Chains A and B, each alone.
Chain A
Amino acid sequence: MAGCGGTTKGSDAASGDGGSATGRQADPNAKVKEGLKIAFLPKEIDNPYEVLVDKGGVDAVKELKGDGKEVGPSDASASSQVSYINTLIQQKQDAIVIAANDPNAVAPALKDAMSKGIAVVTYDSDAATDARQIFVNQADSEEIGRSQVKLVAEQIGGSGKIAILSATPNATNQNTWIKYMQDELKKPEYANIQLAKIAYGDDDDQKSFQEAQGLLQSIPDLKGIIAPTTVGISAAARYLSTSPYKGKVKLTGLGTPNQMREFVKDGTVTEFALWNPVELGYLAGYAAASLASGQISGKEGEKFKAGKLGDYTIGKNGEIILGPPTTFNKDNIDDFDF
Chain B
Amino acid sequence: MLARLLRWESVLLVLCVAVFAAGSFSDGFGETSNISFLLLDYSEVALLAFALLPIVLTGEIDLSVASTLGFCSALTGKLWDGGMSFETIVPIVLVAGIVLGSVNATLIIRFGLPSLAVTIGTLGLYRGLAYVLLGDGAVTGFPENYRPLATDSIGGDSFLPYATILVLVVGALVAVLVHMTTIGRSLYAIGLGAQTARFSGIRVNRIKFSLYLLSGALAAIASLVYTLRYNSARADNANGMELVAVAAVLLGGVSIFGGRGTVLGVAMALLAMAGLRNVLFLDDVSNEIQNVITGLLLILSVLVPVVFKPRRTKDVPLEPSVVDTERRPGADAGGRLRRDHQGV
A107–chain B nearest beta-carbon distance, Å: 7
Contact status A170-B136, CB under 8 Å: yes
List CB contacts (< 8 Å) of B195-230 with chain A.
Answer: 226, 230
**B28: min CB distance to chain A, Å:** 4
Which chain A residues border B326 with CB–CB below 8 Å? none
Contact with A along B1-38 (1 / 0, CB 8 A): 00000000000000000000000000111010110010
Q: Report A3-19 CB contacts with B as 1/0, cut-off 8 Å.
A: 00011111110000000
Measured between beta carbons, the chain B residues less than 8 angstroms from A86 are 37, 41
Residues of B within 8 A of A182 (CB): none
For residue B106, CB closer than 8 A to chain A, the reply is no
**A7 near B28: Cβ-Cβ < 8 Å:** no
Cα separation A84 to B287 with both chains bound (whole Å)? 11
Give the shortest distance, in Å, between B242 (CB) and chain A (any CB): 14
Q: Does B239 interact with chain A (Cβ within 8 Å)?
A: yes
Do A7 and B136 touch (CB < 8 A)?
Answer: no
Q: Which residues of B have CB within 8 Å of A170?
A: 136-138, 234
On chain B, the residues within 8 Å of A12 by CB distance are 140-141, 231
Q: Which of A73, A79, A104, A169 contacts B287 (CB 8 A)?
A: A73
Instruction: Contacts A10-B140, A170-B136 given; indicate if A78 touches B230 (C-beta within 8 A).
Output: yes
> What is the CB-to-nearest-CB distance from B278 to chain A, in angstroms, rounded to a whole number?
8
Contacting residues, chain A, for B262 (C-beta < 8 A): none
Chain A residue with the shortest CB-CB distance to B81: A8
Q: Which residues of A contact B139 (CB under 8 A)?
A: 7-9
- Cβ 8 A contact of B28, one of A6, A9, A75, A90: A90
CB distance from B288 to the nearest CB of A (A): 6
B138 contacts A71, C-beta separation under 8 Å: no
**Count of A interface residues, CB-CB < 8 Å:** 35
Residue pair B140, A104 in contact (C-beta under 8 Å) = yes
Asked if A108 contacts B151 (CB within 8 A), the reply is yes
How far is it, in angstroms, between the C-alpha of A6 and the C-alpha of B287 when the chains are bound?
26
The chain A residue with its CB closest to the CB of B33 is: A90
Contacts of B226 in A (CB 8 A): 79
Q: Check if A139 is an interface residue, CB within 8 A of chain B.
A: no
- The answer to whether B28 and A8 touch across the interface, beta carbons within 8 angstroms, is no
Nearest CB in chain A to that of B44: its residue: A79
Q: Are A9 and B140 in contact (CB under 8 A)?
A: yes
Q: Which A residues are CB-close (under 8 A) to B151?
A: 108
Q: Report yes or no: A104 in contact with B27, Cβ–Cβ below 8 A.
A: no
Residue A92, interface by CB 8 Å: yes
Using A7-B137, A7-B138 as known contacts, say yes or no to A87 and B287 having CB atoms under 8 A apart.
no
Shortest distance between the CB of B24 and any CB in chain A (Å): 14
Known pairs A74-B287, A82-B230, A105-B232; A6 contacts B137 (CB<8 A): yes
> Which residues of chain B (220-260) have a CB below 8 Å from chain A?
226, 230-232, 234, 236-240
Q: Point out the residues of chain A lying under 8 angstroms from B277, CB to CB.
A: 83
Closest-CB distance, A296 to chain B (whole angstroms): 27
Asked if B286 CB lies within 8 Å of chain A CBs, one says: yes
Check: B281 CB closer than 8 A to any chain A CB.
yes
Interface size class of B (residues with CB under 8 A): 35 or more
Q: Does B120 contact A (CB under 8 A)?
A: no
Q: Is B87 an interface residue (CB 8 A)?
A: no
A127 CB to closest chain B CB, in angstroms?
12
- Which residue of A87, A91, A104, A200 is within 8 Å of B138 (Cβ)? A104
A69 touches B284 (CB 8 A): yes
Name the B residues within 8 Å of A71 (CB-CB).
284, 286
> When the two chains form their complex, are residues A78 and B141 in contact, meaning their CB atoms are under 8 A apart?
no
User: Considering the chains assembled together, what is the distance between the CA atoms of A75 and B278 in angstroms?
Assistant: 18
B239, A91: Cβ atoms closer than 8 Å? no
Smallest CB–CB gap between B11 and chain A, Å? 27
Inter-chain contact A102/B41, CB cutoff 8 Å: no
CA A92 – CA B37 in complex, angstroms?
15
> Given A69-B284, A86-B37, A90-B37, A9 and B234 touching (CB < 8 A)?
no
- Whether A243 sits at the interface, judged by CB under 8 Å, is no
Cβ of B167 to closest chain A Cβ, rounded Å: 17
Partner of B231, one of A8, A74, A107: A107
User: In the complex, are the beta carbons of B232 and A102 less than 8 A apart?
Assistant: yes
Complex Cα gap A166–B101 (Å):
35
A90 to B279, CA, bound (A): 11
The complex places the Cα of A9 from the Cα of B81 at a distance, in Å, of 7
Complex CA distance for A11 and B81, rounded to whole angstroms: 12
A210 at the interface (CB under 8 A from B): no
Which of B28, B288, B291 is the one whose CB lies under 8 Å from A91? Answer: B28
CB-based nearest B residue for A92? B28
A residues in contact with B288, CB < 8 Å: 74
List of B residues within 8 angstroms of A258 by Cβ: none
Is A45 positioned at the interface, with any CB of B under 8 Å from its CB? yes
Known: A74-B287, A86-B37, A90-B282. A8 touches B137 (CB 8 A): yes
User: B-facing mask of A35-79, CB < 8 A → 1, else 0?
Assistant: 000000000010000000000000000000000010111110111
Closest A residue to B230 by beta carbon equals: A105
CA distance A240 to B163 in the complex (A): 50
* Interface 1/0 per residue, B260-289 and A, CB below 8 Å: 000000000000000001100110101110
Q: Within the complex, which residue of B33, B240, B287 is in contact with A45, where a contact is CB–CB below 8 Å?
A: B287
Q: Are A83 and B41 in contact (CB under 8 A)?
A: yes
- Assess whether A45 is in contact with B286, with CB atoms less than 8 Å apart: yes
Q: What are 27 sample pairs from A and B whose C-beta atoms fall under 8 A apart?
A: A10-B140, A12-B141, A45-B286, A71-B286, A74-B288, A75-B239, A77-B239, A78-B234, A78-B237, A79-B226, A79-B237, A86-B37, A87-B282, A90-B27, A90-B28, A91-B27, A91-B282, A102-B230, A104-B140, A104-B231, A104-B232, A107-B231, A108-B151, A108-B230, A108-B231, A170-B137, A170-B234
- Which 6 interchain pairs have the tightest Cβ spacing? A169-B136, A104-B140, A74-B287, A90-B28, A105-B232, A9-B141
Which residues from chain B sit less than 8 Å from chain A, CB to CB?
27-29, 31, 33-34, 37, 41, 80-81, 135-141, 151, 226, 230-232, 234, 236-240, 277-278, 281-282, 284, 286-288, 291
- A-B contacts besides A78-B138, A108-B230, 8 pairs, CB < 8 Å: A7-B141, A11-B141, A79-B237, A90-B27, A90-B37, A91-B28, A92-B27, A170-B136
